Amino acid sequence: MELTRFRVPPDRADDLLAARAGMIADFQADRAGFLGAKLVRVAPDEWLDIVEWRSSADFARSRAKGANLPGIRAFFDLIDEVVSAEEGATG
């Protein structure tokens, strides 16, 4: 599991939600081991992205690619600050 907490100004929340579909589509097309994702708003300007990966190696390969496709880049460009990024496993 990938857990990334980040900040987006409240006035850009609608843009973030609109960009989400393109990011997910690009992940599905380009990221081996991507199983799904949930986006949770935890404060007016703070979000938690919970991304499920088949393996830690798949997650590492995805990170190495960065924002390599337009849908991913559009979503990432809306993020002002990454608060935390963690990796964990379900039990």
Across the beta sheet with 2-7, the strand order is 34-43, 46-53, 2-7, 81-87
pTM, entire model: 0.93
CATH, residue 9:
3.30.70.100
Euclidean distance between CA atoms 7 and 72, whole angstroms:
16
- Cβ atoms of 84 and 90 within 8 Å: the answer is no
91 within domain boundaries:
no
Q: Which domain holds residue 65?
A: 2-86
Which pLDDT tens digits describe the chain residue by residue (91 residues)?
Answer: 999 999 999 999 999 999 999 999 999 999 999 999 999 999 999 999 999 999 999 999 999 999 999 999 999 999 999 999 999 998 7
62 falls within a domain? yes
Q: Is residue 24 part of a domain?
A: yes
Helix (H) or strand (E) holding 65: helix 56-65
Question: What is residue 83's predicted lDDT score, i.e. its pLDDT?
Answer: 98
- pLDDT for the residue 20: 98
58 part of a folded domain: yes
Number of domains in the chain: 1
